[in-house]
Amino acid sequence: MTIHQFLLLFLFWVCLPHFCSPEIMFRRTPVPQQRILSSRVPRSDGKILHRQKRGWMWNQFFLLEEYTGSDYQYVGKLHSDQDKGDGSLKYILSGDGAGTLFIIDEKTGDIHATRRIDREDTQAFDIGTLRNPAAIEEKKLRRDIIPETLFIPRRTPTAPDNTDVRDFINERLKEHDLDPTAPPYDSLATYAYEGNDSIAESLSSLESGTTEGDQNYDYLREWGPRFNKLAEMYGGGESDKDS
């Protein structure tokens, strides 16, 4: 017998109706075992009760702080997949704040807040209990937790009083206010102050009332070779000094 003949014979055998009992593939539960299962489940009106796992559908709970509206604030909705909308199910909210701070509609499962909520008011509700009602052990009053901190007063650093600087600024402000050539509007006046202990003396033109021609810059040569160029520019060269 060739392979093609064998395949044709096999397909013909598959297409033939077979008179076999379905109990070979699907066996029913024997009567003694069925009686044992039914004895463990309570009966109601002669029917076996089967307990089904309930499925809860939660949406996002959202609560505004310091709510100022006149109506109750909507928090969220609790719904069961066993609710057919015929009023046979009743929703109950338990835990701290249930019935007083938070209320639930027995038919629809809508949760509302009856008053304004403040996060600092820890005795009004227990958010852990509201999230997991099964974890309620006993009602305990919550207390506000205030961390113990050491109060350290802030002290403003004080600078030593410098009479020379204060007098210098007041004198320059007074001269600027009494200057008749000053513009008739507020302007920014910049001053330079070198101090009394500077070996370079005063290089500011505001400190001296003389003109540039009356000033003597020959002392710049005493500062070293680095200042020779500056001394030649303002004080004249060696030839001018010798002549």
The predicted structure's pLDDT at residue 13: 63
Could you tell me the CATH number of the domain that includes residue 70?
2.60.40.60
- DSSP letters of the chain? --HHHHHHHHHHHHHS-----GGGTSPPPPHHHHHHHHHHS-EETTEE-------EEE------TT---SSPEEEEEEEETT--SSS-------STTBTTTEEE-TTT-EEEESS---TT-TTS--HHHHH-GGG-----------------------PPP-HHHHHHHHHHHHHHHT-TTS-SS----------TT-TT----TTS--S-GGG---GGGGGG-GGGHHHHHHHH--HHHHH-
Domain boundary among 139, 174, 199: 139
pLDDT at residue 29, as a whole number? 44
| Residue 87 domain flag | yes
pLDDT of res. 51 = 61
The answer to whether residue 84 sits within a structural domain is yes
pLDDT at 46: 62
Which residue range(s) make up the domain with 221?
Answer: 213-243
Per-residue model confidence as pLDDT tens for the chain (243 residues): 566 666 666 666 656 554 444 333 334 444 444 444 444 445 556 666 666 555 666 666 666 776 777 788 888 787 777 777 777 778 887 777 777 778 888 888 888 888 777 666 655 555 544 555 554 555 555 455 555 545 555 666 666 666 677 787 788 888 878 888 777 767 776 666 555 555 555 545 444 444 555 566 777 777 777 777 877 877 655 545 554
95 part of a folded domain: yes
Task: Supply the pLDDT for residue 2.
Answer: 64
On whether residue 33 sits in a domain, the answer given is: no
> Would 131 be classed as within a structural domain?
yes
191 inside domain? no
Domain-located, residue 192: no
* Total domains present in the chain: 2
The pTM assigned to this predicted structure is 0.29
